[in-house]
Structure 1
Amino acid sequence: MTLLIDRGMMELMGYSTDAILGAARQSKDILDASWIDESPEDSTSSCRLLKKCDEECYANDNSCLDEREAYMMSPEVIKAEAQKDVVTEILKSKVVEAGEKRAKEESLSRLTSLLCRYQDVFSLKFAADPPFKVPPLKVQQKEGTEPVMARFRRYQPLHGDYLKEHISSLEKHSLVYRNSDLRWGSANRIVEKKEVGSY
């Protein structure tokens, strides 16, 4: 039986790797390892297992990356051109709606100019758009508070279906990923809009 232990465990057991190497150096300056047979037939099962793991690990460097890591290393930037026409129509309808609510002509002109200038900011669905240049969100906790893991909240069937669809869409475009090492978190809170289908 072969057992592999790291340096920290050896030190806990009372062994000193430096002392062992120093004693070996004093007994012999040059270690002749020609007598060791490196053929896989004479090696131990653990050596064969480690060799097989090395072969699988370094067979293809790109294969070692999962989908999320591969996307982060070389993201595929695709503008949501398919939504452009629909977004344009919605923005125009919002300008018309503002005019119906008696907005001034100067305000309508300014609103139209702003919507045309920042049209690429609006979208209906998630897509592989290029990232925005914004600072990362940081959660600041109050002093003396301890983070806890909130219990799962029971949702209405309609809210639960929406939440599943929303999370799956975020995962599909690599905007979020599952973290199995969570130590704290809060439950989602879904707020309904007054008008169904409003943007």
Structure 2
Amino acid sequence: MDSEVSNGSGLRDEHITNLLVLDFLQSFSDCKFHQELRTLGQELPFQACLEVEREDELQTDGNRASLFMGRIEADSESQEEVIQNIARHLAQVGDEMDRSIQPGLVNDLVARFMNVRLSEEDRRNCLATTLKQMQTYPKDMENEKATLIMTMLLAKKVADHTPSLLRDVFHATVNFINQNLFTYVRDLVRNEMD
């Protein structure tokens, strides 16, 4: 396997996961944290990369080139679209799973995230602990997909409960996914790009 393929679809790991979680959360129109989400989306590091690409890298054939991981990729917008489509699909599946999350678990997670002394690792561990307490994964769904959806649903529920926690829960979710599920996420993107 060549090194470019093993490094993912061209976006750096964090950018893929940032975009996936951001688009997943944006898929829900009935949330209380849209203003916070808009602000967060403008602050994320990939936003600056994407804006520079759109302004500066128009190719003579009309395609836009992107600079990620030190190399040019002509199809960054299609990668973005693929990730957005995956996020929307996962959000649709998540709608069915949403009701299975017990409010008590969300309340406990919110209380933990409100502790300003928690490190990023502590927040990620709180998220992992809450996921372990949930035993309502659909039996016909692969474990990684169910865990990915439930992780992002927990982020949605925490932010919906307390919008000021969006930034903390977003970063904990991204870190959890990058540590535990990134191979699965990268494979989803790759399969959709093929």
TM-score range (shorter-chain normalised) is: under 0.3
**TM-score, normalising length from structure 1?**
0.18
**TM-score, normalising length from structure 2?**
0.18
The structure where helix makes up a greater share of residues is 2
Which structure would you say has the larger RCO, counting Cα contacts within 8 Å and 6 or more residues apart? Answer: 2
Q: Which has the higher Rg, Structure 1 or Structure 2? A: 1
